[in-house]
Amino acid sequence: MRDLTAQTSAQAYVPGVFDDLTAGLGLRMSFAQNEEIYSQEEEAEFIYKVISGAVRTTRLLADGRRQIGDFYYPGEFFGLEPKEEHRFSAEALCDTVVLVIKRSTIQSSGSSELQHEIWQATAQELTRAQDHLLLLGRKTACEKVASFLCNLARRQSAEIVALPMGRQDMADFLGLTIETVSRMLTQLQKGRSVRFVDHRHFRIENPDAIACMCE
Amino acid sequence: MRDLTAQTSAQAYVPGVFDDLTAGLGLRMSFAQNEEIYSQEEEAEFIYKVISGAVRTTRLLADGRRQIGDFYYPGEFFGLEPKEEHRFSAEALCDTVVLVIKRSTIQSSGSSELQHEIWQATAQELTRAQDHLLLLGRKTACEKVASFLCNLARRQSAEIVALPMGRQDMADFLGLTIETVSRMLTQLQKGRSVRFVDHRHFRIENPDAIACMCE
DNA sequence: CGATCGATTGATTCCAATCAACGTGAGTGG
DNA sequence: CCACTCACGTTGATTGGAATCAATCGATCG
């Protein structure tokens, strides 16, 4: 990870961006697309919050197989793990600004509200991981892709949903190959469940059909 | 879940069983093999700790496909989820005694140590879920089974390792079928990596071979 | 002794991976 | 402006690993 001491200017509190308890704490850091925020097996000294952009956490096997743990969007915490070391690395999906908070700061801040917020975020993370387990272990390729689109749509609650990641990232999140992801996307389109306006934007045409594939 | 008020006698503190902060808190409850401790979608009002026996958390899809989230052994917490409702149900793997603690008790106990212990347990749980994601998403059937045996062995650190669950439970944890689990077990035995003394007990013959399959 | 349940083994099928070709759009430079 | 490259995505043909279907084995129990 980059040297934190190198940046000192970005601590300013931006009013209105967040209503929360992290205001004024930690450092803001910018990362270019695909830049590493922290690495697998690095000591988990900080916790992180997305300010703008998006983040993926990834884990590699020795032979290059890759699993994406989750994607994080503005306002969400990541890097929440018990002391020790990180099991996943984190990378910027696109140009991204992140708030970096030292763990010891949280302890010493004495804010039990903040501690509670972080516990909530950890438990929330666990819930998402559990949904992900079911998806990876027991869903078919088509159900995986449908569930993924459905989740994105739910989080964004917009008519046209943006896909912030490429096909390889989707594949590595879903435990599939890019080819299979691509095939399932065209299959869902032929079934009139979704429609892509371009490679990175879609709308859900038939919410019932999608919902039924997500269970 | 069963009525908590039905049991009042089992609160006694057993010295020496745990060195921890939960002593004297909550109720002890017994569950028979396969009995449900809480159900999917039940409100998450309590947290739980295994005293003796073992527990599995499971989630079902509408058509009966099942995913096991994790197995829990004595001393471990489970049912740690952000308020809302449980995403998985919990069942006793065998005859089991569980300590049940009301969430509100923890808040009001004011013990920040206990709160910290629970946060630790939640984060620990998350770490395990993340390992599980990699296993489900990117490992082969053989690697899955090997990793599973390896983890069990690591947790028990005994020469002869006990499998507290049947093949169906292993399969539903690993995202496989019982037949495939069985085939991989014989394959590992033929490769002299492990040896089964009976269906529920094995020893690791070649730790290097196993470790290399677990990454 | 049959009955039953869990585990193993065998034969076959099928879904997703792999290997390969092609399409498309953005950026580059002549 | 066009030709070229390059990254990314889609589509097609074939393979392969795990699922499915089916039979058998072994242990426990009435």
pLDDT 10s digits, B67-90: 999 999 999 999 998 767 899 999
**Average pLDDT, integer, range A28-50:** 94
Q: Of A61, A127, A174, which is closest to B82 when you measure between CB atoms?
A: A127
- CA atom of B190 to C1′ atom of C11, Å: 22
pLDDT above 70 covers a percentage of chain A that reads 87
Give residue A127's pLDDT.
93
Res. B114 pLDDT band, cuts 50 70 90: confident
Q: What are the C-alpha distances in Å from A194 to residues A154, A169, A178, A205?
A: 14, 20, 18, 5
Nearest-CA distance B33 → chain A (Å): 24
Give residue B8's pLDDT.
32
Res. B14 pLDDT band, cuts 50 70 90: very low
Res. B214 pLDDT band, cuts 50 70 90: very high
* pLDDT above 70: residue A122: yes
Q: Which residues in chain A touch residue B215, judged by CB atoms under 8 angstroms apart?
A: 61-62
Give residue B37's pLDDT.
96
- CA atom of A146 to C1′ atom of C23, Å: 25
Chain C positions with any atom < 7 A from a protein CB: 6-11, 15-20
Q: How many CB pairs under 8 A join A and B?
A: 100
Give residue A31's pLDDT.
95
* pLDDT above 50: residue A210: yes
Mean pLDDT of chain A: 88
Both tokens assigned to B192:
């002299």
3-state secondary structure A79-116: CCCCCCECCCEEEECCCEEEEEEEHHHHHHHCCHHHHH
**Average pLDDT, integer, range A148-170:** 96
Q: What angle do CA A2, B129, B39 make, to 5 degrees?
A: 145
Q: In this predicted structure, which of A54-63, A93-102, A137-146, B79-88 has the lowest mean pLDDT? A: B79-88
Structure-model confidence comparison of residues A15 and A147, the more confident one:
A147
Q: From the CB of residue A103, how many other CB atoms can be counted at a distance below 10 Å?
A: 15
Residue contact A124–B82, C-beta within 8 A: yes
Give residue A16's pLDDT.
36
Residue contact A126–B122, C-beta within 8 A: yes
Indicate if the alpha-carbon torsion angle B143, A145, A53, A106 is positive or negative.
Answer: negative
- CA atom of A119 to C1′ atom of C16, Å: 38
Ranked by mean pLDDT, the top range of A130-139, B13-22, B73-82 is A130-139
Both tokens assigned to A8:
């000192």
Q: From the CB of residue B32, how many other CB atoms can be counted at a distance below 10 Å?
A: 10
Res. A10 pLDDT band, cuts 50 70 90: very low
Minimum-distance residue to C19 (CA–C1') = A179
Both tokens assigned to A171:
């594949």
User: Among all residues of chain A, which has the CA nearest to that of B173?
Assistant: A137
Nucleotide nearest B182, from its CA to each C1': C8
Nearest to B207 by CA among B197, B196, B193, B189: B193
Res. A84 pLDDT band, cuts 50 70 90: confident
Give residue A14's pLDDT.
37
